[in-house]
């Protein structure tokens, strides 16, 4: 495992953007892990919720934006409700998702793939519609 | 110069305070400007005016230039007013002819612009010079000291302070709300880091307190009203009716065994066991006399029963007893009222309603050999021995949201390590897990203590929090995370112990109003200075000891109690106290006798008197206001209430304050 | 820090003067705490120490305005916490009297403020001072009550 380089300026813009969108202070987190302990969606995650915020604290934005975690987050707000420091992690996740989606050419869901999704009997149509609204430009 | 106005010779000394002032205020310019101010005969500067060299420089200048009053432009008067007053007195100047201009905390430290800061420093110095020009010599009066101390609270803090004061030869009263002294320490099983049996080290002190000729215990009593001032506190104490004659009772306990009303939950046992209506809180209670709970007693509620009265071999039960009010005088008061732990109703994720999820205090009672399970470590739900126990730290502590307390409760890391080791000592096959955020073990031998739990006893310490506890059949599924390895985990626990946050007692606000001392936002009593005056309050004569001032463990509590006792002994030792001379004074020629000031005074320090004055040859009798200088605290409210402006406050007269306003607004 | 620069840009010549009467036990200590915590507020605020906020006479407030102050603040302990137990209740009553009078004689009500600042509230002290300065900046210099012998 390579040694991580801590370069605070490298992702300064992205981190500032996260702060602007979510209005949450990443440094408020004391890494207690209560968010991860209560999160119902950790099965599908590669990085755990508290690790996401740790990487943000260390300025490692690239690790966060490439993770599966931010897309597995169900926005159930259990983490936000229980955090002893009052950090709304769900809002932070949304901010990271938005930054990813706003990048040029980032269509997470293409219109062509919708027909494939509709073959899944269990997939609610509402989910497809809202996903299309959110995930494609 | 007799009769005329004496020309002032004011000395102005401006301090650099190293670079604290000099960095943002041009000290030399202030000195230059000071020299131009009217009345100033000498102005100088120095790096550290409060140092011995600085003070000597001031004293030399006073003698050399015949200065009669002094202005120091330096740090806040709350820091060094006393220092400079003493120095002036040593040079022969009345200490009240000294004024301080605060050019550090209120100037150099808050303004970055040197020009603006210097201008402000000059204005503040000018105001101080204007004020000191009008200062008069003030001589402090003397107050008697009642050689008796009051301690509110009979836990280890109160007991230790009482023993120290009593051993020094002074009389002490302890007022304790519950039927017995002992407090929280009596509820504990063993204490960290020595693992001494808590009752074994506490009960000798409790007995000493009861037997000491200088100590009087007022148990099952509360302080009702406090008036007066340092050296002379007048306190009303309500001694609640025990319905038991303390002189006749032998402590045989027949009444407590036979009482038919057994529905009340024992407060001492944290609700894990029931008690009768007539009860002694615990076996080693001091005094060893029961108390009848009026809400639970069948006889007191309905008139029927009275079994205890019939069975008592000494005829000590007396249902006709009434609450008694007594008033006592004290020279000093120590507040040692203790702490509670928070209610866990806002922490639903920990499932506190489940009988097998308990708080740390409940755990102490369960492991205690004299507790509800006779020391057997069993589940409250079915009485079976647990195989896996999970400890959760920081329940409600370090929590910035409305649910919890933002502070660290200090004792939980240590007592959790203690709890886990106590279990492992008795039952090595039980698995113990501790979920923590940080482990805080700052005291002597504390870290070694906690590491023993991990290294010697195999307690599994997991750095992460618990998300939620799901009861599943007989088990409690604890969902947590190990942040260090990055794994979420679930433990099928049989019991969960929550280290709930400590909080101030619910009647702390009530007590603070009675004493007129302050509490912080968490309702812990505020000390006079967090670093240098940890046992005093802002009110002279009232001291703090123990967890009522902030969460702390037993060694710190005992240290603080002895410190408070030392302060009390120092106070009671004085034959007379010197009082604040900045009191109100009435100009009888102007006073109209309306007595509006008497209504306003918070200390009832103003009364009236009849005088006879000579008005152009005619003798007229009139009523004028009269200030009791011992009671007057110098707030100055009366001066504003006075319509003719007859009453003024020495040290802060109307003319002085107007002179300050004029000097600033120039 | 941004406030200082904002103010400097707005009106270069107008240097307002705020006189603050602070009670020795709470608000003066709070001002000291603001200093110890190195909080920043503009140097236009000058503090006069009084033993209790109830010491402040209407005369002092009017004198301050008369001699050129653009704003006056009386800072005391929180109600219920007065070091002299009931002093600040009297301040509270006088506050309504003084505001009525100053409004009647034409001094804008934003120029006079009474606030409760405890010894632990260094932050609040700085905020209160910054706020009244901002208000006074918007209103401009106090010309309503002044000594007629002065030429302004």
pLDDT tens, position by position, B194-205? 999 999 999 999
- Say if B466 is an interface residue toward chain A (CB within 8 Å): yes
CATH value at residue B496: 3.50.50.60
Same domain for B51 and B27, yes or no, is: yes
Is the Cβ pair B120, C47 closer than 8 Å? no
Is the domain of B413 the same as that of B483? yes
The answer as to whether B25 is a domain residue is yes
* Confidence band for A114, pLDDT divided at 50, 70 and 90: confident
DSSP line for A45-100: -SS-HHHHHHHHHTT-HHHHHT-SHHHH-----HHHHH-TT---HHHHHHHHHHHH
The percent of residues in chain B predicted with pLDDT above 90, rounded, is 83
Interface contact B399-A84, CB threshold 8 A: yes
B379 lies in the same domain as B230: no
Six token digits for residue B632: 């007057």
Among B322, B348, B363, residue at a domain's last position? B322
Confidence band, pLDDT 50/70/90 cuts, at residue A125: confident
Identify whether residues B162 and B69 lie together within a single domain. no
Tens of pLDDT, residue by residue over B129-180, are 999 999 999 998 888 999 999 999 999 999 999 999 999 999 999 999 999 9
Summarised one tens digit per residue, pLDDT across range A66-90 is 999 999 999 999 999 999 999 999 9
Residue B246 neighbours by CB under 8 Å, 6+ apart = B287, B289
- B interface mutation test: which of C23, C38, C54 has the most B CBs within 10 A? C54
- Shortest Cα distance, chain B CAs vs residue A6, angstroms: 20
B216 and B263 part of one domain: no
The pLDDT value recorded for residue B215 is 97
DSSP B519: B
Nearest to C121 by CA among B400, B520, B533: B520
Q: Say yes or no for a CB contact (<8 Å) between B466 and A31.
A: no
Q: A37 to chain B: which residues are within 8 Å by CB?
A: 464-468, 479-481, 488
Q: What are B294-335's pLDDT values in tens digits?
A: 999 999 999 999 899 999 999 999 999 999 999 999 999 999
Residue B664, domain member (yes or no): no
Answer yes or no: do B78 and C25 touch at CB < 8 A.
no
Query: Do C51 and B652 count as a contact with CB atoms less than 8 A apart?
Result: yes
Give yes or no: residues B9 and B126 share one domain.
Answer: yes
Contacts of B403 in chain A (CB under 8 A): 84
Residue B654 within any structural domain of the chain: no
Residue corresponding to tokens 């003084």: C98
Query: Is B661 within the bounds of a domain?
Result: no
Contact assessment for residue B434 and residue B360, using Cβ atoms and an 8 Å cutoff: no
Mean pLDDT of A97-110: 85
Cross-chain Cβ contact B401/A83 below 8 Å:
yes
Same domain, B544 and B601: no
Question: What does the pLDDT read at residue B516?
Answer: 81
Chain A: closest CA distance from residue B416 (Å):
17
Average pLDDT of chain A to the nearest whole number: 91
> Helices in B177-314 by DSSP H: which ranges?
183-187, 198-211, 254-258, 298-302, 307-311
The pLDDT of residue C150 is: 61
Residue B44, domain extent: 2-134
B399: which chain A residues are within 8 Å (Cβ-Cβ)? 84-85
Q: How far apart are CA B34 and CA B14, in angstroms?
A: 9
Give, in order, the Cα–Cα distances in Å from B393 to each of B133, B409, B431, C119: 61, 10, 17, 33
List the single residue in B with minimal CA-CA distance to C87: B637
Q: Within this chain, do residues B356 and B450 fall inside the same structural domain, yes or no?
A: yes
Nearest of B23, B39, B17, B25 to residue B128 by alpha carbon? B39
**Residue A51: pLDDT above 60?**
yes
**B438, B432 contact by CB (below 8 A):** no
**Residue B608 is part of a domain; what is its CATH number?**
3.30.70.20
Q: What is the pLDDT of residue A9?
A: 83
Q: Enumerate the β-bridge partners of residue B493.
A: B476
Residue C149 has pLDDT above 80, yes or no: no
Q: What's the whole-number mean pLDDT along residues C53-71?
A: 91
Yes or no, beta carbons of B520 and C120 under 8 Å apart? yes
Is B347 a domain residue?
A: yes
- Count H helices and E strands in chain C, helices first: 5, 4
Query: Over 60: is that where the pLDDT of B588 sits?
Result: yes
Q: What is the pLDDT of residue B1?
A: 37
Confidence of residue C148 (pLDDT cuts 50, 70, 90): low
B346 and B479 share one domain: yes
Pick the range with the lowest mean pLDDT from B325-339, B552-566, C84-98.
C84-98
From B401, which residue of chain A is nearest by alpha-carbon distance? A86
Domain count within chain B = 5
| Contact across the interface for C59 and B117, Cβ inside 8 Å | no
Task: Give the B window 377-396 contacts with A, CB below 8 Å.
Answer: 394
Work out the burial of residue B288: count CB atoms within 10 Å of its CB; fewer than 13 is exposed, 13-18 middle, 19 or more buried.
middle
User: Per the CB < 8 Å rule, is B111 touching C46?
Assistant: no
* pLDDT level of residue C147 (50, 70, 90 thresholds): low
Nearest to B660 by CA among C41, C143, C67: C67
Cβ contact A86–B400 (<8 Å): yes
A67 part of contact set with chain B, CB < 8 Å? no
Q: Is the pLDDT of residue C65 over 70?
A: yes
* Model confidence at B6: pLDDT above 80: no
| Section C112-134 average pLDDT | 92
Q: Is residue B333 part of a domain?
A: yes
Between 3.40.91, 3.30.1920, 3.40.50, 3.90.550, what CATH number should domain C16-139 receive? Answer: 3.40.50
Q: CATH number, domain at B308?
A: 3.30.70
Q: Is B562 helix (H, G, I), strand (E, B) or coil?
A: helix
| CB nearest to A50's CB, from B349, B479, B483 | B483
Q: Do B437 and A32 touch (CB under 8 A)?
A: yes
pLDDT confidence of B655, banded at 50, 70, 90?
Answer: very high
Indicate the SS3 state at residue B359.
strand
Surface-to-core class of residue B316, CB atoms within 10 Å of its CB (0-12 exposed, 13-18 middle, 19+ buried): buried
- Do C51 and B582 count as a contact with CB atoms less than 8 A apart? yes
**B92 in the same domain as B23:** yes
Minimal Cα–Cα distance from B637 to chain C, Å?
Answer: 5
A partners (3+ CB pairs within 8 A) are B
- pLDDT of B4: 45
pLDDT at residue A131 above 90?
no
Q: Which residues of A touch B500 (CB under 8 A)?
A: none
Looking at the predicted structure, is the pLDDT value of residue C151 above 70?
A: no
B190 found inside a domain = yes
* A41 in reach of chain B (CB within 8 A): no
Residues of A in contact with B463 (CB under 8 A): 33
Nearest CA distance, B660 vs chain A (angstrom): 45
pLDDT of residue C134: 92
Task: Strands of B316-387 (E only): list them.
Answer: 324-330, 332-335, 339-341, 357-359
Q: Are residues B483 and A39, on separate chains, in Cβ contact within 8 Å?
A: no
Task: State how far residue B583 is from chain C, nearest Cα, in angstroms.
Answer: 11
Report if residue B660 sits inside a domain: no
CB contact under 8 Å between C64 and B111, yes or no, is no
Considering only alpha carbons, which residue of chain A is nearest residue B435?
A32
Does residue B255 carry a pLDDT above 90? yes
Please check whether residues B364 and B494 belong to one and the same domain: yes
Q: Are residues B181 and B330 in the same domain?
A: yes
């Amino acid at each position: 495992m390579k040694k991580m380089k801590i370069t605070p300026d490298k992702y300064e813009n992205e981190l500032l953007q996260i702060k602007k969108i979510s209005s949450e202070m990443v440094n408020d987190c004391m890494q207690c892990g209560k968010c991860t302990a209560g999160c119902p969606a950790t099965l599908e995650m590669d990085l755990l919720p508290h690790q996401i915020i740790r990487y943000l604290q260390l300025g490692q934005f690239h690790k966060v934006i490439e993770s599966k975690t931010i897309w597995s987050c169900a926005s159930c707000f259990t983490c936000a409700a229980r955090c002893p420091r009052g950090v709304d992690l769900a809002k932070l996740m949304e901010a990271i998702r938005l930054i990813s989606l706003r990048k040029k050419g980032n269509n997470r869901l293409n219109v062509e793939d919708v027909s494939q999704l509709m073959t899944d009997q269990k997939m609610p149509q509402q989910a497809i519609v809202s996903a299309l609204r959110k995930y494609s430009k | 110069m007799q009769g005329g106005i004496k020309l002032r010779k004011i000395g102005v000394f401006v301090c650099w305070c190293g670079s604290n002032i000099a960095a943002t205020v041009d000290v030399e310019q202030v000195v230059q400007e000071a020299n131009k101010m009217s009345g100033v005969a000498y102005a100088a500067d120095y790096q550290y005016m409060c140092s011995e060299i600085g003070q000597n420089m001031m004293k030399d200048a006073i003698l050399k230039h015949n200065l009669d009053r002094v202005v120091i432009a330096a740090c806040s008067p709350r820091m060094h007013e006393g220092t400079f007053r003493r120095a002036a007195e040593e040079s022969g100047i009345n200490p009240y002819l000294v004024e301080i201009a605060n050019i550090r905390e209120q100037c150099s430290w808050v303004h970055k612009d040197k020009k603006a800061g210097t201008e402000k420093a000059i204005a503040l110095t000018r105001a101080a010079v204007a004020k000191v020009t009008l200062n008069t010599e003030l001589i402090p009066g003397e107050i008697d000291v009642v050689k008796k101390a009051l301690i509110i609270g009979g836990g280890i803090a109160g007991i230790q302070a009482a023993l120290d004061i009593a051993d020094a030869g002074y009389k002490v009263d302890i007022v304790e709300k519950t039927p017995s002294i002992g407090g929280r320490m009596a509820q504990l099983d063993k204490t960290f880091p020595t693992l001494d049996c808590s009752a074994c080290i506490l009960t000798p002190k409790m007995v000493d307190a009861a037997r000491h000729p200088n100590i009087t215990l007022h148990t099952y009593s509360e302080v009702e009203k406090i008036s007066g001032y340092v050296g002379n506190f007048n306190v009303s104490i309500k001694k609640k009716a025990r319905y038991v004659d303390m002189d006749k009772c032998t402590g045989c306990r027949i009444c407590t065994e036979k009482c038919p009303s057994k529905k009340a939950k024992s407060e001492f046992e944290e609700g894990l066991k029931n008690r009768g209506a007539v009860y002694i809180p615990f076996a080693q209670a001091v005094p060893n006399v029961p108390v009848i709970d009026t809400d639970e007693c069948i006889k007191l509620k309905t008139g029927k029963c009275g079994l205890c009265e019939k069975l008592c071999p000494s005829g000590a039960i007396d249902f006709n007893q009434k609450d008694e009010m007594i008033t006592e005088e004290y020279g000093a008061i120590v507040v040692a009222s203790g702490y509670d732990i928070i209610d866990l109703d806002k922490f639903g994720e920990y499932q506190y309603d489940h009988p097998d999820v308990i708080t740390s205090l409940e755990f102490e009672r369960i492991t205690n050999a004299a507790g509800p399970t006779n020391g057997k470590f069993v589940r409250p739900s079915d009485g079976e021995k647990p195989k896996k126990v999970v400890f959760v730290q920081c329940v409600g502590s370090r929590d910035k949201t409305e649910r919890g307390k933002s502070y660290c409760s200090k004792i939980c890391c240590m007592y959790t390590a203690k709890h886990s080791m106590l279990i492992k000592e008795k039952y090595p096959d039980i698995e113990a897990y501790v979920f923590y955020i940080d482990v805080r073990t700052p005291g002597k031998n504390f870290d070694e203590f906690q590491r023993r739990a991990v290294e010697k006893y195999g307690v599994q310490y997991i750095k992460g929090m618990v998300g939620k506890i799901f009861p599943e059949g007989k088990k409690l599924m604890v969902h947590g995370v190990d942040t260090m390895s990055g794994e979420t985990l679930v433990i099928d626990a049989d019991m969960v112990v929550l280290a709930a946050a400590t909080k101030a007692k619910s009647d702390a606000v009530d007590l603070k109003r009675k004493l007129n001392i302050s509490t912080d936002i968490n309702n812990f009593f505020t000390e006079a200075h967090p670093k240098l005056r940890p046992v005093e309050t802002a009110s002279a004569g009232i001291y703090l000891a123990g967890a009522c001032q902030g969460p702390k463990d037993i060694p710190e509590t005992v240290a603080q109690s002895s410190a408070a006792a030392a302060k009390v002994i120092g106070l009671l030792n004085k034959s007379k106290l010197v009082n604040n001379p900045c009191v109100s004074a009435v100009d009888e020629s102007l006073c109209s006798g309306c007595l509006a000031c008497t209504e306003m005074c918070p200390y009832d320090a103003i009364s009236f008197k009849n005088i006879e004055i000579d008005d152009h040859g005619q003798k007229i009798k009139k009523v004028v206001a009269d200030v009791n200088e011992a009671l007057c605290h110098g707030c100055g409210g009366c001066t504003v209430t006075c319509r003719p402006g007859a009453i003024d406050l020495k040290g802060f007269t109307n003319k002085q304050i107007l002179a300050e306003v004029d000097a600033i607004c120039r | 820090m941004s406030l200082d620069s904002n103010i400097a840009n707005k009106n270069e010549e107008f240097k307002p003067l705020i006189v603050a009467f602070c009670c020795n036990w709470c608000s003066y200590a709070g001002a000291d705490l603001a200093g110890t915590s190195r909080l920043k507020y503009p140097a236009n605020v000058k503090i006069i120490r009084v033993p209790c906020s109830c010491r402040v006479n209407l005369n002092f407030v009017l004198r301050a305005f008369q001699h050129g102050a653009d704003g006056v603040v009386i800072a005391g302990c929180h109600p219920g916490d007065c070091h002299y137990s009931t002093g600040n209740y009297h301040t509270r009553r006088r506050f309504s009297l003084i505001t009525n009078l100053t409004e009647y004689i034409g001094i804008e009500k934003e120029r006079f403020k009474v606030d409760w600042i405890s010894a632990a509230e260094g932050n609040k002290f700085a905020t209160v001072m910054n706020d009244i300065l901002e208000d006074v900046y918007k209103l401009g210099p106090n010309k309503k009550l002044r000594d007629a012998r002065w030429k302004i």
